[in-house]
Amino acid sequence: MRLAAEGLRLLGAVLLGTVTALLDLVFLLPALPFAGRPAVRAVARRLAVLEARRLRLDPAALGLGTGHSDGRELRYLAARAPVGVLGGLVVTLLALGTEVAVKLVWFWGRGLPIDGMRPTVPLLAYAALGGTVLLFLDLSGMAGVHALERRLALRMLGPDPTEVLRHRIAELAESRAGVVAAVDAERRRIERDLHDGLQQRLVALSMLVGRARRGRPELLEQAHEQAQQALAELREVAWRVYPSGLDSLGLGEALAGVAERSSVPVKIVCELPARPPMAVETVAYFVVSEAVTNAAKHARATAVTVEVRERDTMVVVCVQDDGVGGADAAGGGLSGLARRVAALDGTFTVISPSGGPTTIVAELPCG
């Protein structure tokens, strides 16, 4: 049933392409002498948009939604006219073959001869075999015409391959620079954590131990507490550098650790059918960790929800809090996350209206 529906859709697309090809010719013949005029190019662009939609192509992805025309639409309409006519010939052959098949069934089903021929076993076998082969060739022709039309549209309406390559190179260069900047920022933050927190606590611990050695044994309990706090801070800094449990426990358990260490309640929903690549897991972890930290420190949130799911070939990470909103996507922490995500060719979105809620979504390709 599905195959039949797809065949009818293909037949309709090719037949409609034949009609539009003729209409394009009617437009092109008188319009070509005035091809440089904006009005003619605007009409050509509208016709090209209709053709793209008929072929199930995104006009915006082909650059047809910008309102600017450089004449490529006119060239495309002229080039596709012969292909449309070819599609019409293929559909005509299908119609003729169908007519012959209906006549054979009608006459021979009633025991009547057609062109002096009566149904015999060899003749029926010959007609069935020949009809099947011709039908296969005709359907293949329709599929070929449709594929040729799509390829022609992509080639003539799509962006120039050289420009696409240049744009990709620029993206990679920007992404690499962003990763370097993010690494440097993370190093500076670790240095501040060590200097302002752990280092001072160790100095205080050293002083307490020294005083206890000089006859103040009651200070040993304070020294022990300072040592415990120093270990906790050291563990926190180590987890910021790289969560060791991510390798052995997986993303779900590592995120559970983020929820346990958070000062606000965090609900974790991690539904992945299989473990994604390690790079994807790492970026997903840091997105959640930074978002939860921001929600607790800056958004005055009372609850955070984290969802990690797989959609097609993407791992989608969504973090939402009920805080006051107003998060700045260009801020240090979030911009660093954006660069991490961009390094994997992912997308990073921050939605944080004033008054909340704040929603952070990272889409990471893993296919």
Return the pLDDT at 217. 65
Contacts 24+ apart (CB under 8 A), 308-313: 308/251, 308/252, 308/255, 308/268, 308/269, 308/270, 308/271, 308/272, 308/284, 309/269, 309/271, 309/272, 310/271, 310/272, 310/273, 310/276, 310/366, 311/363, 312/367, 313/365, 313/366, 313/367
Return the pLDDT at 153. 87
Report the mean per-residue pLDDT for the chain: 81
- Taking the C-alpha atoms of residue 173 and residue 258, their distance in angstroms, rounded to an integer, is 32
214: buried, middle or exposed (CB in 10 Å: 19+, 13-18, 0-12)?
exposed
pLDDT exceeds cutoff 60 at 98: yes
- Taking the C-alpha atoms of residue 307 and residue 316, their distance in angstroms, rounded to an integer, is 8
- Higher confidence at residue 108 or residue 347? 347
- Mean pLDDT lowest among 115-119, 234-238, 275-279, 343-347: 234-238
Return the pLDDT at 197. 64
Is-contact 135 97, C-beta < 8 A? yes
- How does residue 261 score in pLDDT terms, banded at 50, 70 and 90? confident
CATH no., domain 246-367: 3.30.565.10
Return the pLDDT at 312. 84
Q: What is the pTM of this model?
A: 0.51
Return the pLDDT at 121. 81
- Mean pLDDT lowest among 141-145, 148-152, 235-239, 350-354: 235-239
- Higher confidence at residue 216 or residue 131? 131
pLDDT, average across residues 225-242: 65
Return the pLDDT at 187. 61
User: What is the per-residue pLDDT across 21-80, written as a single tens digit (0 to 9) for each?
Assistant: 888 888 888 888 887 888 888 888 888 888 888 888 888 777 776 656 667 888 888 888
Return the pLDDT at 89. 92
Return the pLDDT at 2. 76
Q: Where are the domains of the chain?
A: 2-158, 176-241, 246-367
Return the pLDDT at 301. 87
- Higher confidence at residue 84 or residue 195? 84
- Higher confidence at residue 25 or residue 186? 25
User: What is the per-residue pLDDT across 334-347, written as a single tens digit (0 to 9) for each?
Assistant: 887 888 888 888 89
Return the pLDDT at 304. 93
Question: One-letter amino acid identity for 112?
Answer: L
